[in-house]
Structure 1
Amino acid sequence: MKTTIAFEDFSKMDLRIGTILEVKDFPEANNPSYQLTIDFGDLGIKKSSAQITTLYKIDDLLGKQIVAAINLPKKQIAKFMSDCLVLGAVNGKDVILLKPEIKVKNGSVIS
């Protein structure tokens, strides 16, 4: 377990639902990854890199809703700028995406 943080620190995270619009292979990444373009509704379109190639094919991801942290600083990954962090559960070398059970409005807040 990591160090305990104050609830106020956690509440600074802006976790939202988005829908994956586009997926591209990302051969320049150090680990097998995809480049994702994600629609967060009124918050706009954001991009992310995700190491999810072991369980997900490109066609499986299109239109899938995901959970992402959208208020982290941008991160340069190879020649790609990531705007958000897609969340998933790590199971060995696999990452299982976190997603809503029922389709919700893009940009919906996770609380």
Structure 2
Amino acid sequence: MSVSIYEVIEGKKCLATYILAVNDTINVINGKWKAPIISSLLFGKKRFKELERDIPKITSRMLSKELRDLEANGIVKRTVYDTIPVTVEYELTASGQAFEKVLDVMLKWGLEHRETTLAAGK
């Protein structure tokens, strides 16, 4: 299902539904660390320490909290293996994988915005 802001403006889609969907997206990426975690997991399953190494300056406590939030939102799947010691892997769900499209748009906008802003400041 593809919905654009123009369809909402033209009355083809419900504004309340659009706002809820945007809020859902913001809730998923809310905070400093969720987008980097998702970005790291786009490259495949990772263990906790691998994620910690991939994301500079994140604390273990914050990584743990953010992974729980992402799991609660259906973005990350946590798998515990019955090994000694216990092995835990994190991976993106199908919804998490689809979030790559959002990150791509954010990247494109960020690069364009940075270029425009820096050019205006000169």
TM-score (norm 1): 0.29
TM-score (norm 2): 0.28
Where relative contact order (Cα < 8 A, 6+ residues apart) is larger, the structure is 1
**Which protein has the bigger strand share?**
1
